[in-house]
Chains A and B, each alone.
Chain A
Amino acid sequence: MSKPEITQIAEALNEKFGEAILSQEQAYDFPVFVVDKKELLNIMRFLYDDDRFQFRFLTTLCGIHFPDKEKPFALMVQLHSLVYNVRIRFKAFSKADDLHFPSLTPVFSAANWMEREAFDFYGFLFDGHPNLKRILNVDDMDYFPLRKEYPVEDLTRTDKDDTMFGRKPAGFKKLN
């Protein structure tokens, strides 16, 4: 079998999933497909099983937050076909009020912690995930820290006056 071209992959995906493939672009050396989030798991399964492609390695998965977009949250998934050495990226956008994504854990065991991380950082809910709870932060944290509206600094800090640097932690009170 020869190395599959991107056009070939795009054709196969379009043929199989049709409307679920929303757009395709080339971002530097990476082909990027924007897909409907509902079909994400089926697309992964298809690419995993198909002998022409054999995308059987989940490189990475992460959330992204674009606060200005209509669909502000995105899930990025990168696959790698180790047999043909082809890499491919998927993005699935979601509205803020419905952050459900299908979990990729039935196909890739590695997705387990990556999805937990995305949940921890952005609050994505992965349907079918065996154990969706916070992974890096403390369990009783009540917000999703990587969303753009939250500052990087500790919200409870009161001892730091950074006015000269143009920023102030939210809880700042000037000490007398």
Chain B
Amino acid sequence: MKEILKSSEGTTVVQSPPGYEGPGFFATSLDKAVGLARKNSIWPLPFATSCCGIEFMATMASTYDFARFGAERLSFSPRQADLLMVMGTIAKKMGPVLRQVYEQMAEPRWVLSVGACASSGGIFDSYSVLQGIDHIIPVDVYVPGCPPRPEQILDGILNIQKLIHSESLRRRNSPEYKALLSSYGME
């Protein structure tokens, strides 16, 4: 973590992005400032279905303290969430629900697929289990493990933060992104 430095008081501060600095002003590109703000104030929507959800509880709790990364406020409503964390097996019966939740989220939105089941179906190669959520919604970061340790989930969050930080403001309007969504049959 290069960007988060320990200040002398022991609290974490965020390093400013590259830019022009002078007495009383600091200029940088809008992308970078917005990215910086977004990445440190994620509102995740925990979509916890099974075992990985219990590890997520451990991640949230005191020992691992998920809130350190600016994601203190879990958003249980998809309409206000930035990050969809899919944790656990998604059965075929659940698939449409997951997709609807994703569609309800406002842009920009990211998806973190936690655990083997969400990423690929895991050990459940059976008639009722969706073999990876990327069949129905686009995924940004995959976290392997069955279930992943809290450290791994945190690592996934850090990778999401990296993506958010470096994302250009125009990406969501680009033809590539629209093509990605339309390949999933979404507008």
Q: Are A154 and B131 interface neighbours, CB within 8 A?
A: yes
Q: Does A157 contact B (CB under 8 A)?
A: yes
Q: Given the known A-B contacts A154-B131, A157-B131, are A137 and B93 also in contact in the complex, defined by CB atoms under 8 Å?
A: yes
Q: Mark B112-155, 1 if CB is under 8 A from A, else 0.
A: 00000000000001111101000000000000000000000000
Contact for A145 among B93, B125, B128, CB less than 8 A = B128
Complex alpha-carbon distance, A136 and B127, angstroms: 12
Set of chain B residues within 8 Å of A157, measured between Cβ atoms: 131
Q: Are B93 and A154 interface neighbours, CB within 8 A?
A: no
Set of chain B residues within 8 Å of A155, measured between Cβ atoms: 127
Interface of A is mostly: loop
Count of chain B residues with Cβ under 8 Å from any Cβ of A?
8
Complex alpha-carbon distance, A138 and B93, angstroms: 6
Q: Does B92 contact A (CB under 8 A)?
A: yes
Set of chain B residues within 8 Å of A172, measured between Cβ atoms: none
The closest CB in chain A to the CB of B130 belongs to A154
Set of chain A residues within 8 Å of B127, measured between Cβ atoms: 145, 150-155
Q: Mark A132-152, 1 if CB is under 8 A from B, else 0.
A: 000011100000010000111
Complex alpha-carbon distance, A60 and B167, angstroms: 54
Least CB distance, A168 to chain B, in whole angstroms: 13
Q: Mark A116-137, 1 if CB is under 8 A from B, else 0.
A: 0000000000000000000011
The closest CB in chain B to the CB of A145 belongs to B127
Set of chain A residues within 8 Å of B92, measured between Cβ atoms: 138
Complex alpha-carbon distance, A128 and B45, angstroms: 43
Complex alpha-carbon distance, A153 and B127, angstroms: 5
The closest CB in chain A to the CB of B96 belongs to A138
Q: Mark A149-166, 1 if CB is under 8 A from B, else 0.
A: 011111101000000000
Least CB distance, A111 to chain B, in whole angstroms: 23
Set of chain A residues within 8 Å of B131, measured between Cβ atoms: 154, 157
Complex alpha-carbon distance, A157 and B125, angstroms: 10
With most chain A CB atoms within 10 A of its CB, the pick from B93, B127, B131 is B127
The closest CB in chain B to the CB of A134 belongs to B93
Known: A151-B127, A153-B126; 7 extra A-B contacts, CB below 8 A, are A137-B128, A138-B92, A138-B93, A153-B125, A153-B127, A154-B125, A154-B127
Closest 3 CB pairs of A and B: A138-B93, A154-B127, A145-B127
21 contacts between A and B (CB under 8 A): A136-B128, A137-B93, A137-B128, A138-B92, A138-B93, A145-B127, A145-B128, A150-B127, A151-B127, A152-B125, A152-B127, A153-B125, A153-B126, A153-B127, A154-B125, A154-B126, A154-B127, A154-B129, A154-B131, A155-B127, A157-B131
